[in-house]
Structure 1
Amino acid sequence: MINLDNTSEKINVSSEVGRLRRLLIHSPDGGLGKVVPSKAQDWLFEDIVHLDTMRRDEYDYYVKLLLYFLDPDKVRGKIASIDADPTRAFYKPGGEGYFNSDKVMDLQSMLTYILEDEGIRTQLIAAICGIERCSFRTQQELKSVEPATLSMIFISGSLPNKQMLFAPLPNLIFTRDIGIIINDHILLNKPAKTARTRESLLAQYIFFYHPVFESYRDKIIEIPDNEKHFLLPEDEKHSDYNRSTLEGGDVMMVAPRHLLIGCSERTTLYAAQQTMKILFEKNVVDTITIVKIPKKRDYMHIDTIFTQVKKNMWVLLSTLGRVGDDSRKKDVLHFFAPKAIDQDLKILQFIKGLEHKPIEIENLEDLLADISRNDLECREEVKFIYSGNNEFPFGDREQWTDSCNLLALKDGVVIGYDRNDKTLDAFREQGFRVIKAADLLQKFEADELSPDTLTDTFIMLPSAELSRARGGSHCMSMPIFREQL
């Protein structure tokens, strides 16, 4: 179990690039191996994956890198012995040899902990059996299942004998979407798709009952539905102006008093408005910028089209930036196109106390440059790296495999996928060391490099299977503590 001696360590995230000290993840579980083609899109997957390759040959490196930066005693000097283990249960919560860190925390391990409480276990079994429409006998049988097995059932959807009770939760590996830390507050999500309802329920129980969050329970924010939503006709219920859905990939804490909220395929304007109202009332932030992007599966969340690399550097998709806009306007078709073509991207900035007078920002580069210069007080030139090195057709191709979805371990040190060759060229052109995860771990073990002194580095994560899930390292993390910049 997680060492609770350190649970008093504060929860706080006030930037995207401050040194990462604590986060939530979820290692790929058996449910991912049960996704079938006929249900893949219903379960929000584009493809089926080879689970063992994803876990042993790809995600395994992600975990070891996170531990080397956040909890090095768990891996330093042990990589060879971990790799020599034929069962390789290092990344599996509850398994023999599991890394069991209180800095890199797996949701399944946290769920197991709270299920040790009989009252919580009874409540959660009843809640899940209700939303999954299980029989009364199934509900009674689950009460006798021990906590570690029960947490696995809730996540994978299967009993130990492989019988499936309900659908798996393949998207739980994208822990970013269950919530977001905004300074010292916790914003819980409201998923847009039915496939993530159980996921959201598990997250609620973890945040409200796990001792890691005990001191912050009065700072957990849940977004309300339209108070009259149950009276609305069905077509109006699903309107962006009435529906309250929000996922963490659309929320970025970019500076201590500045939050970005994306309105996308998964996050509605109504939810963004409600979130803004609550955060301003609680004085959590002073500025909220709403970035409305096209409702396309290609993009899904704002963190699929841009993320921050360091204080003065961002990676983004040019077709939704100034560069893409300029090239489009040179096309004669632009002059004859419907006006809606210019409404694909809209950016409005709201200042606390002046919500009725939002500032319209013309493009992403202007917004991101302003964050670097003014919010983060960066005096260096603000630079942009474009997906696919801004070469056609590689920008869109590589964005699809998460070239813009990077997790910053510290200012200037990021993890991303190894398959986005043109984007990696762009990083090299900006002076970054581009290195494979396995090679970097070897250099750490040999004391040739250190996480503490590493600068301007792109760490390449193997991604043949992970990229099929349509989420990158940013999606696969929920930071809960970053150092102040």
Structure 2
Amino acid sequence: MIAELFAVRTQPEQVSEKQGRDLCSVDSEHGRLELVIVHEPGLEVDAVMPWTLDTMKVDECFNRVDLKAQHRHFSSLLKSRGAQVVHVKDLLLEVSHLGEEARRDLFESVWGKEFLATQSLNTLNVEQLITGYSREPLAFDKPPLMNLFFMRDPLFAVPGGWVVIARPHFPIRQVESKLMRAIFRLHPSLKNIKVFDGLADDPDVNIEGGDVLVADAETVLVGVSQRTNERGADRLAEFLFANTPVTRVVKVFIPKQRAFMHLDTLFTFIDRGVVLTMPYFWSKPEVYAEVARRANALNEKMGSDERQDAEDWIVEPPRIELLTKGKNGEFTSKKYKHAMSGLQAEGIIDKALFVCGAEGSWPTPEAHVAKALTEQWNDAANVFCLSPGTVVAYKWCTRTVSHLQDNGIDVIELDGVELMKGRGGARCMTFPLRRSLSLQS
């Protein structure tokens, strides 16, 4: 039924309310992947140039041909393991084929009524909602959605069959959320899915899907990070407790650094109760402080003014706060100074594997962390679970891939050097809409 609903056609099928609800089902990070939405990058990446890198939130310019080819290969890997892969561009085209009223609604929802009043609808192409609107090179009236191929962030699925529209930290990424909210409201195959957009309308909230991990049907982890603030985590907890089977929300506090912009850049599930994460990150943050000091000393010796804030690791070490659903809409709070031990004590995590190998396998913790930071920068920890014990990971992260394989994890290696330039891995590039029930996986 899923495949039939998302075959590209000029008249998408109007599905029943029950069919729509059943499309969305995510109660874990490890259940077998059945349906996933992705975006293959296109002309929008051509707006990336050395003088727009910070604005576009990337670190390098792209070769669009190679980028598209690598993303297409990524999609083929997902399909080869039985997942139905749906592309945002196809969803947009199907909405546009519904008629002029739907097209107008789509453009107004993303670009606003005032701007659309100055344009002729017939001259606009729905792909411009992604590639941007400009009358000459780089003179964008409506900017390109350069980061849309990181589909994890503008929205996310939670237990109970809900899709939550995120409110990203940067305004340009908030446009991505507007686009996805409009698609889910207008597309006949998606419109009956339950969508919560209350967070997107709260100006004091920042929350992105890269910070939201579904441990099980009753437990959701939310990173409080560079991109997600504590109000976003608390507002999500309030919604989950009131509307879903979730009874526990774990706020995971991590350093507000670009290298760790989301929780899933350093912590992902690879099986039931098994995670891949950074060595010593949770247990000995002082190791990171020492590596930062050594890096600062090297930079100074070489005449560079680049510095890492070593003391932040000591003053604000990673920690967790467990929120548990109570009566009358209230919830209780329990804090753990040591995050990993707290997750283990609460039965959320049974085992951890580490970027670049097991803790204790290197001559010193500092040597391990220095190498792990290099692989983590290229998203070694941002793997994507296709089924229990099966993940997609970047081939470039050789030590991490070997460590996973040595511990019985089936690693599907993705050759994605061009994809890595965007600072996002396999999990970042996916929005899972349906997984098989984790108890049956």
TM-score bin, normalised by smaller chain: 0.7 to 0.9
Q: Secondary structure at the match of 2:189?
A: helix
1:26-105 equivalence runs, <5 A: 26-56=39-69, 58-71=70-83, 103-105=84-86
Give the drift of 1:170. 1.3
Kept in 1, the 8 Å contact 2:288–2:369? The answer is: no
The aligned residue for residue 405 of structure 1 is 382
Q: Name the SS for the 2:193 alignment partner.
A: helix
Q: Structure 1 residues 214 and 370, CA, compared in 2 at 3 Å: closer, same or farther? A: farther
Cα 1:160–1:113 shift into 2, 3 Å: farther
Partner of 1:169: 145
8 Å contact kept, 1:31–1:170: yes
Q: Distance in 1 between matches of 2:146 and 2:312?
A: 39
C-alpha distance in 1, partners of 2:312/2:100?
58
Are residues 283 and 48 of structure 1, via their aligned partners in 2, closer, same or farther at CA, if it must alter by over 3 Å?
Answer: same
Distance apart, 1:123 and its partner CA: 2.7
Q: Which residue of 2 aligns with 1:123?
A: 105
Question: 5 Å matches for 1:15-414?
Answer: 15-56=28-69, 58-71=70-83, 103-116=84-97, 117-130=99-112, 134=115, 136-137=117-118, 139-140=119-120, 143-145=121-123, 150-158=125-133, 165-183=141-159, 184-217=161-194, 219-223=195-199, 243-322=204-283, 324-325=284-285, 327=287, 341-353=314-326, 357-370=332-345, 374=347, 382-389=350-357, 391-414=368-391
Amino acid at match of 1:274: R
Distance 1:65 1:173 in 2: 16
Shift, 1:266, TM fit: 0.9
Instruction: State the percentage of identical aligned residues.
Output: 24
| Counterpart for residue 413 of structure 2 | 460
Across the two proteins, how many residue pairs are aligned to each other?
A: 394
Tell me the residue number matched to 1:446: none
Cα displacement (A) at 1:428: 3.1
Q: Return the alpha-carbon distance in structure 2 between the equivalents of residues 329 and 126 of structure 1.
A: 48
For residues 405 and 82 of structure 2, the distance between their equivalents in structure 1, rounded to whole angstroms, comes to 26
Residues 159 and 67 of structure 1: CA distance in aligned 2, closer, same or farther (over 3 Å): farther
Going from structure 1 to structure 2, the CA distance change for 1:328 and 1:188 (only over 3 Å counts) comes to closer
Amino acid at match of 2:316: Q
Q: Give 1:145 deviation, angstroms.
A: 3.7
Of residues 12, 20, 23, the one that matches 2:25 is 12
Residue equivalent to 1:429: 406
The equivalent of 2:6 in structure 1 is 2
Q: Structure 2, unaligned stretches of length 5 or more?
A: 294-309, 360-367
- Once residues 421 and 364 of structure 1 are traced to their aligned partners in structure 2, the CA distance between those partners, rounded to angstroms, is 27
Whichever residue aligns with residue 350 of structure 1, its letter is: L
Counterpart-to-counterpart distance in 2, 1:316 and 1:225: 33
Deviations 1:251-290 (A, max 9, x none): 1111001111111111111111111112212244111111
CA-CA distance at 1:129 after TM superposition: 4.0
Residues 59, 339 of structure 1: alpha-carbon distance in 2 compared, 3 angstrom cutoff? closer
Q: Deviations over 1:195-227 (max 9, x none)?
A: 21321211110121222223224x43421656x
SS of 2:353's equivalent in the other structure is strand
SS across alignment from 2:122: coil
- What's 2:301 paired with? none
Does the 8 Å CA contact 1:153/1:159 hold for their aligned counterparts?
Answer: no
Contact 1:407–1:473 (8 Å) recurs in 2: yes
SS of 1:393's partner is helix
Shift in Å at residue 370 of structure 1?
4.9
CA contact (8 A) 1:299 1:305 kept: yes
Structure 2 CA distance for partners of 1:345 and 1:425, relative to 1, 3 Å: same
> CA shift at 1:177, angstroms?
0.5
The offset of 1:359, in angstroms, is 1.3
Residue identity in the other structure for 2:411:
F
TM-score normalised according to structure 2 size: 0.82
Tell me if structure 2 keeps the 8 A contact 1:263–1:290.
yes
Q: Is the 8 A contact 1:252 1:260 kept in 2?
A: yes
Shift of 1:319: 4.2
Give how far 1:67 is off: 1.2
| Residue 329 (structure 1) shift | 9.3
CA distance in 2, matches of 1:5, 1:220: 23
2:250 aligns to what SS in structure 1? strand
Q: Is the 8 A contact 1:66 1:104 kept in 2?
A: yes
What is the distance in 2 between the residues matched to 1:464 and 1:63? 16
The equivalent residue for 2:298 is none
Deviation at 1:128, TM superposition (A): 4.0
| 1:459 partner SS | strand
2:421 counterpart letter in structure 1 = R
Partner SS for 2:321: strand
Matched letter for residue 114 of structure 1:
V
Give the distance between the partners of 2:47 and 2:313, measured in 1 at CA.
41
